[in-house]
Chain A
Amino acid sequence: MALEIYLDLFSQPCRSVYIFAKKNNIPFEFKKISLLEGQQYGEDFGKINMMRKAPAIRDGDFCLAESVAIMQYLAEKFQTPAHWYPSDLQQRARVNEYLSWQHMAIRMHGSKIFWLRLLIPKIMGVEVPQDKMDGALEDLNGSLKLVEDKFLQDRPFIAGEQVSLADLVAIVEIMQPVGSGLDVFESRPRLAAWRERVRVAVGTELFDEAHKDILAAQEMVKNMDASKMQVFKPKILKLFL
């Protein structure tokens, strides 16, 4: 049975796994799963990933969740070029450092902006209070500053001279608030230059294809049926408001 990868390209970690697999010519079956339509709650998907999240893979009998774990597994299994997850001890540690930090930093802050700007107004029918928006923006700016000042510094990529999983995971998260109409690159030339380097390193066509949906998010969300998204209300109230 072919490797199955369950993906929704609206989701940042799905994009990183998709780009990684395609760039490395890893043969797989793209199994589309629409998160905003609640398809992750289906019975079959539950057997692949009890946590009801994407991305997830099924490789024969082996099921795996969590994008970072998935990419590390695929890198090993398909012996992808070393620069993605370097074998040099210190370089690998640098990549691991970023992959660990990002969960509760840039990922959290970028996701929140996307929800506050686009999804919450759509689902709840109200704009988010300005103080909440300002707070979220401050958090995002703080994380972006750390990406630039601590993780990138004056290097072309996070681990050094070549692109790695760290850059891939970083870029897909930073693109999320961009999809909500907030151009975080506008006032950040160093970050914009890095984005272009990553885009070229993975292949501009592949990068743009992976980001087509999220960059059209404002339009797509506008046309969504809010009544079908009410299942997210409790999560929104708990997490964001």
Chain B
Amino acid sequence: MAGGVKYPEVYLDMLSQPCRALHILLSFNKVPFTIRTVALRKGEQKTPEFTSLNPMQKVPVLVDNGFVLTESVAILKYLVTKYSLPEHWYPSQPERRAKVDEYISWHNTNTRPHTAKVFITEVLIPRMTGSAVDGLRVERALAELKDTLDMLESMFLKRQPFLCGDDITLADLLAVCELMQPLGGDRDVLSDRPKLQRWRSRVQSALGESFDDAHSVLYKLRDNFKSKL
């Protein structure tokens, strides 16, 4: 390591889906980095120090030797380029790259909010308020997710092994982390979708250890959830 240059710092909470995607990309590709934990459930993103780093009060945040970057998508693309990660993550051929960009753009307003809502209504809100689960809200969230999953299968996955073609890309990484989240409440949103299940298995295999490592906190949450039932 050149004198004075530090490993990039990544501000994370492993219960956050985009944080996991980032953690997986870095650890899978053996990019050295320093983790700075931000416990969202304790409101640590709202401290004055963190707010001056990121006024949006969100994770993940990358600090690379003074360069501060928010938004997981921007961070992932930055890292792919900076560390010359294998091409397949974010192909350079224009049409193939465009397909990844197309998914990522759609992901922000579909996969991410609709899957998160299931977890939020089923796990987060009851935890934070101490109230019982509002079954109706969960049902509505699942209904909206259904449309998203239909589109994921028919528009993106189709007959391909991965969302944007023959190889795993940033699209699969982002999508899988979102779709894992409801597992924290012991709900597998892909349980009746064999095609998407097979895709998830392919992604897990491709990512190896880094996948389960990143999801260990979520698995613990699920175990706690189950033991309370």
Name A residues whose Cβ lies closer than 8 Å to a Cβ of B.
50-51, 62, 64-70, 72-73, 76-77, 89-90, 92-94, 96-97, 99-101, 103-104, 146, 149-150
Contact = CB atoms under 8 A, between A and B. Distances in A.
28 contacts: A50-B155, A51-B106, A65-B102, A66-B101, A66-B102, A67-B105, A69-B98, A73-B97, A73-B98, A76-B94, A76-B97, A89-B82, A92-B81, A93-B69, A93-B74, A94-B74, A96-B73, A96-B78, A97-B69, A97-B71, A100-B108, A101-B56, A101-B70, A101-B71, A103-B109, A104-B113, A146-B55, A150-B56
A100 B22 CA distance: 15
Interface string B126-158: 000000000000000000000000010011000
Closest 8 CB pairs of A and B: A69-B101, A66-B105, A96-B74, A100-B71, A73-B98, A97-B74, A69-B102, A103-B108
Contacts of A77: 94
B95 interface: yes
Given A101-B70, A101-B71, A93 B101 contact: no
Nearest to B78: A93
A62 B55 contact: no
Nearest to B64: A90
Contacts of B67: 90, 93
Say what secondary structure dominates the interface of chain A: helix
A52 B104 CA distance: 17
A50 B98 contact: no
A73 B77 contact: no
Which of B75, B101, B106 has the most A CB atoms < 10 Å from its CB?
B101
Interface in B57-110: 67, 69-75, 77-78, 81-82, 94-95, 97-99, 101-102, 104-106, 108-109
Contacts of A69: 98-99, 101-102, 104-105
B224 to A, nearest CB: 29
Contacts of B151: 50-51
The size class of the interface chain B forms with chain A is: 20 to 34
B74 A51 contact: no
Contacts of A104: 108-109, 112-113
A119 B108 CA distance: 24
Contacts of A50: 151, 154-155
Contact of B98 (A64, A89, A96, A149): A64
Contacts of B69: 93-94, 97
Contacts of A64: 98-99, 102
Contacts of B102: 64-66, 69
B94 A73 contact: yes
Contact of B101 (A73, A92, A103, A149): A73
Contacts of A65: 102, 106
B54 to A, nearest CB: 8
Contact of A96 (B71, B95, B99, B113): B71
B109 A68 contact: no
B229 to A, nearest CB: 31
A72 B73 contact: no
Nearest to A108: B109
Given A51-B106, A51-B151, A69-B102, A150 B73 contact: no
Given A51-B151, A64-B99, A150-B55, 15 more contacts: A50-B154, A65-B102, A66-B101, A66-B106, A89-B78, A92-B78, A93-B75, A93-B77, A97-B69, A100-B71, A100-B73, A100-B108, A101-B71, A104-B108, A104-B109
A72 B101 contact: yes
Nearest to A73: B98
Given A72-B98, A93-B74, A96-B71, A103 B105 contact: yes
